[in-house]
């Protein structure tokens, strides 16, 4: 999870600068985005590691929010991976894919 946050942070600075944000505007935007990203990742991790298989809508809502945060912070590659994961229709397979893609160190 920390590697996702760090990689996203690194991409966010260049991404927001390219949009013309001033340096003093960038820092609060990134800090808020990273807090939201961490909160979303924690919620998603707790959900996929729950003893009870979560329902598809809960997983999709969390993944949709995660995808949006990643796109807004410039981590488009991972956002596209998250979007692809959302295609699973079986909650158990979806949980396994989320775990492998987001929470398993490679």
> What's the rounded Cα separation, in Å, for the pair 35 and 64?
17
The pTM of this model reads 0.92
> What's the rounded Cα separation, in Å, for the pair 39 and 33?
10
pLDDT of residue 19: 86
| All residues at 6 or more sequence positions from 58 whose CB lies less than 8 Å from its CB, including other chains | 47
pLDDT of residue 21: 87
pLDDT of residue 100: 94
Other beta carbons within 10 Å of 92: 11
Is 87's pLDDT higher than 70?
A: yes
Domain count, the chain: 1
Residue pair 11/73 in contact (Cβ under 8 Å)? The answer is yes
Domain membership of residue 60 as a residue range: 2-103
pLDDT of residue 82: 97
Is 29's pLDDT higher than 80?
A: yes
pLDDT of residue 23: 86
């Amino acid at each position: 999870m920390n590697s996702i946050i760090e990689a996203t942070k690194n991409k966010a600075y260049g991404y927001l600068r390219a949009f013309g944000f001033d340096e003093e505007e960038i820092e609060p935007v990134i800090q808020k985005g990273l807090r939201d990203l961490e909160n979303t990742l924690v919620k998603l991790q707790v959900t996929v590691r729950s003893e009870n298989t979560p329902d598809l809508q809960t997983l999709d809502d969390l993944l949709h929010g995660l995808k949006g945060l990643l796109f807004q912070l410039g981590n488009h590659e991972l956002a596209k991976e998250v979007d692809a994961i959302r295609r699973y229709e079986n909650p158990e397979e979806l949980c396994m894919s989320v775990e492998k893609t987001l929470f398993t160190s490679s």
